[in-house]
Structure 1
């Protein structure tokens, strides 16, 4: 019988485990704090930031919320980041993407102090990840590692296929899977929009991570029997519902779950884990900045 990997439950367990570390830091006079900068009126971004704020409140992390008018000059955003970098009471900085077209997103990521880059996207942190010495693992790939672990799947020696090559998920996910470390040691293939014979490659995967942003592009016929399927996609498609749409992943769930050994649903799979690992990185950042050993789950 296929195991449905409950991301909400795993994320809740991680949040619960973080509380002791947060309390320890607070007792030492350093309650973790996360600054979130929003320069967008995108409803999805606003909702996501609100959910992160709720997560922080639940575990005792101070949430600092900064809204910048999307029409403001890029300089206002960079000045805000500079102020947050210099503020010793701020441990983590997150600039919610996407930013407006007149702001270059890579420049924004480079502007954040790498010690406070709890998304793990600053070039210094990306380099450390590739070198096998990650300071902060990017939240979604790290959350996927935790989901795979929760399903009792050993990645060592397995054939893993990552569909998608984004800087946020695909590339760092592949890097984590090949690391000589727990949650790694997999023989890893990265597929993308130019990959030929995609189905042939995905059918060979013991572990399949779908992160291409294409609704239901992976169906059951593309999944090896007994494989662990992690669906990162969250896509709005038109539907006869009250909202006029429904959320689907990059995997056609009903057919894939008939053959997979374990699978994540959408929603309720990877999404909650991304937010949980952001809290994890914020706690880790606080410990590193104040030279306090934090026992993380």
Structure 2
């Protein structure tokens, strides 16, 4: 019997580099016209991982030429406190894009905070108005991880149009918006999309039929080799952390069955960050056109 074939890896770093190179040029063009694009961030509480993510975003913002604004609220901050900071950044002319770091402490409502935000500043693409724009096929900020997955597939020349994409997971940040994105009529989309979730008893019947399978549940190792059609493209979109170790929804052994697969580390993550900054520069460009 021949040894299993190892899947082709689909790293996210080259995709992110290309996106960020474009962002850097657009930031330089804005600055040449006297406009310094600004990214505002809000952190509530003292979660180490969240604080680390903010530092990475601030460092990347500086490297790309963005101005940074930041507010760190204590874990005891009220919903009203959070809304007041969001509104203050909404009135700050230099803060073109705004990020509320998630997750928030348990007593705070992230959706309510998003609703207070100016949708034109929504760098995550999660404001209800922007999700409506996505559903209608209208321009606006697109959720970062779905946009990154579309860009990753396009960069690695994975055909999507006319193929069967199965998304395991229906979350508001990934599964649902990705289904909307990949079903739209566009050369890098135009797929037949099925959304299934872990509460469907026979979910693996659907995943075994996928030409492209996107795991977006946040349950480590839920997708195993027997859940994947041989030769399929597999994207690990859902992750959890065990300490500092990143755990993917996709078991490592799936690489022996898949035709192409994102790596556990350095797959979708870099593209998500890159798309956040693409959204940020587009926020600044829209504000410039509106002024």
TM bucket, shorter chain: over 0.9
2:228 to 219, 223, 228: 223
State the distance in 2 between where 1:272 and 1:66 align. 24
Partner residue, 2:110: 105
Counterpart position of 1:4: 9
Question: Match for 2:74 among 69, 78, 86?
Answer: 69
Root-mean-square deviation (CA, aligned residues, Å) is 1.4
2:176: which partner in 1?
Answer: 171
Are 1:141 and 2:146 counterparts? yes
CA distance in 2, matches of 1:267, 1:51: 16
Residue 13 of structure 2 corresponds to residue 13 of structure 1: no
**SS at 1:283's partner residue?**
helix
CA–CA separation in structure 2 for the residues paired with 1:141 and 1:84: 26
Q: 1:40–1:98: 8 Å Cα contact kept in structure 2?
A: no
The SS at the match of 1:161 is: strand
Find the residue that maps to 2:70 and give its secondary structure.
strand
Per-residue deviation, 1:184: 1.8
User: Which deviates the most, 34-43 or 6-15?
Assistant: 6-15
What's the secondary structure of 1:281's corresponding residue? helix
**TM value normalised by structure 2:** 0.94
Shift of 1:102: 2.2
Give 3-state SS (helix, strand or coil) of 2:271's partner. helix
Moved more, 258-267 or 166-175: 258-267
- Out of 91, 101, 104, the position equivalent to 1:96 is 101
Structure 1 position 236, deviation (Å): 2.6
What 5-or-longer segments of structure 2 have no aligned partner?
Answer: 1-5
Deviation at 1:79, TM superposition (A): 0.8
Which of 186, 189, 196 in structure 2 is aligned with 1:184?
A: 189
5+ residue gaps, structure 1, are 238-242, 293-297
Rounded to whole Å, the distance in 1 between the matches of 2:259 and 2:155 is: 13
TM-score (norm 1): 0.92
Distance in 2 between the 1:128 and 1:65 partners? Answer: 28
State the aligned residue count. 285
- Structure 2 matches for 1:261-272, cutoff 5 A? 261-272=259-270
Tell me the distance in 2 between the aligned counterparts of 1:268 and 1:148. 14
Matched residue, 1:287: 285
1:277 aligns to what? 275
Aligned match of 1:116: 121
